[in-house]
Chain A
Amino acid sequence: MKRSDLDTVLTHDGREWVVRADGIEARGADWGELDESLRRALAGSGRYPSGSRVRVFMGFDFDTLPQWLRQYHYHYFNRWVEIRV
């Protein structure tokens, strides 16, 4: 298992990707928007010094998909990104 500085849960609300973890929330219609939103949220949280690189694990919450689909497959994807705060 890889080490991450922050483990987040990734979902999609029908319009945007949403990332949540420990009081942090970021949203974006695409990955660029989401990562930028996350960068701002990390900077605003005061937990990471300016200029630091944060390894973020985004685990897709499979409960986002309809329940009837889960019997066919139970994994969507996980995403690893590095955000410069």
Chain B
Amino acid sequence: MSAVNRRWYSGMLSTEDWWAVWLGLFMFLMGLLSIWEIDAVGWMAKTKTWEWSSFWSDPSWGKLLKTAHGKAGQAYEGLGPLGSIITTWLVWTALTGIGAYFMKLNVGKFVVGFTIIFAITWFVWIVGHEAHLKAPKTAESITAPQVYGEDVYCMTKVHKCTKEIKEALAKLGVPEGQLPSPQVAAQAVDMSKHAIRMSWGLSLGGGASYILALVAGLIIGNFIKGFARFLSEAAKPEWYIKTAIVYLGIKVGLMSMKAAGFAFELAVAGMAATFVAYLLFWPIVYTLGRKGFKLSRHASAVLSSGISICGVSAAIATAGAIRARPILPTMVSMLIVIFAMIELVVLPGFYTAVAPNQPIVNGAAMGMTVKTDGADAAAGAILDQLMTARHYQETGQVWEEGWILTASIVTKIWIDMFIGLWAFILALIWVYRVERDPTQMTVGASEVWHRFPKFVLGYLLAWFVYLGIAVFWADAVDMAMKGANVVQSPMRKMLFMMTFVCMGIITDFSKLKGMGRLATLYGIALFVIIAPIAYFVAWVFHRGMMPPTPGG
């Protein structure tokens, strides 16, 4: 049995890329049913911020998980938190198991592996939601610490705590706009449902869970290697992240309802930046490989694409375009996966520290620098959490969550889409100019289609459908958002979390041994050439762009 892409529909049932589209669109459609008042997604479990002393005084699942998702989920309240997470496991195991069957994976091994990864994911996700790690300080503690104290944190979104404290102050007879006395302020905090006093807190937002997931995966991948090999059947970070990116299309669609101009500006700036960066990266790295490191044409071209464009997929596409031996993209891909992990660990904190006032520039630069979709989305998500948390702590102003992540994904998606075209051009140059293959008849245009990232189709469809609802069917927006919010938030975040865990599992740093010149060139090119140029180009096209503020 061979896996040859002969026809335009080859791979539709047998590849992770297409299965990301199917899983993505399936839940997208389930979410859309809320327009007709059918709640087909409200069973999804959701994490909740919890505080350990309160939990241990009276442990219950209800303190860790919730089933209601705003207006959705009411039909499933009878499940309870434990029933909800079991249902979540059943549905996702069934869906991914079907995909595994068609992809000819070992279904039994996949289901066991998926279940273990699912359990690890939810465990670290819940741990990361402990209030000391996650909860932000309230706006009151930041702007008026002399009245409220510096120790008031919020167990939900900060604007909700602000609203609750304001309502409590009104009940206590404090006119709006007037600062209360410390005693009255303390009473108002006590009356607020979600404000809590804690002696310390890291205020990492969702970033705490992401970091823990990555650490858990890396421990397995590097110290429990036999276990990592066992899990490898289900450790598919690219599948999970591509599915999550389809759901991100829904989020971008929802965000576009509120800030269509900004979303459009972001997409155009991302395209322009990607195009410019691309034209700079590739020839510089190729020349360095040929002249500086004396690599072969094939090795230089594959490495240049891998490091300059979209990582592993670019390395494979380019190696295919120039008909390189398959061992070459395999070696380069190992490098890409390992270096992507290093970038993911280093860059979000670095960008947050050195450029805290350039959120969108940082996001876009991340998209052009971090290779592999999984690592980029992961880095973008951490950056989003770290930057919004820091900005809030320093200014008391809330940036709407998700725009920094979107900036990093948008540039990456443009890069992903370019690769098919670039590989096609490269194939023509290689066949007719470099190798001058006398028997080769043609390079099929179908090569562009086979190399096109299919999950992008799901992402764009989800985005434009929700944008279309906002523009042409305004009456349905509220109902559409019920289902959409479940798919784009807890479902998307669960897949992000699973991606983090899986990326750690498949990253074995010991594989860098013996890579010699290739690894040296990769490291130099990445940190000395790609990262600075990407940042400069991102700054040129995105400077001054700021995430919208809620209600702003």
Listed in ascending order, the chain A residues whose CB lies under 8 Å from chain B are 1-2, 7, 9, 12, 14, 31, 35, 55, 57, 59-66, 68-83
Contacts and interface: CB of A to CB of B under 8 A. Distances in A.
A64 B326 contact: yes
A69 B325 contact: no
Contacts of A60: 4-5, 320
Contacts of A2: 444
Given A74-B3, A80-B442, 19 more contacts: A7-B6, A9-B4, A12-B326, A14-B327, A31-B437, A59-B5, A61-B4, A62-B3, A65-B326, A69-B312, A72-B312, A73-B312, A74-B15, A75-B5, A75-B11, A77-B323, A78-B6, A78-B446, A79-B440
A60 B427 CA distance: 15
A79 B6 CA distance: 11
B319 interface: yes
B24 to A, nearest CB: 15
Given A65-B330, A69-B333, A75 B320 contact: yes
Contacts of A81: 439-441
B156 interface: no
Given A59-B5, A81-B439, A76 B330 contact: no
A28 to B, nearest CB: 12
A71 B236 contact: yes
B4 A73 contact: no
Q: Which among A31, A61, A74 has the greatest number of chain B C-beta atoms within 10 A?
A: A74
A27 B262 CA distance: 56
30 contacts: A1-B6, A31-B435, A31-B439, A59-B5, A59-B6, A60-B5, A60-B320, A62-B3, A69-B329, A70-B15, A71-B237, A71-B238, A72-B238, A72-B316, A72-B372, A73-B312, A73-B313, A73-B451, A74-B11, A74-B14, A74-B16, A74-B17, A75-B11, A75-B316, A76-B320, A77-B427, A79-B323, A79-B440, A80-B440, A81-B440
B27 interface: no
B147 to A, nearest CB: 54
Nearest to B336: A72
Contacts of B248: none
A61 B3 CA distance: 5
Contact of A72 (B7, B311, B325): B311
Interface in B1-26: 1-8, 11, 14-17
B236 to A, nearest CB: 5
Contacts of A55: 441
Contact of A65 (B7, B237, B316): B316
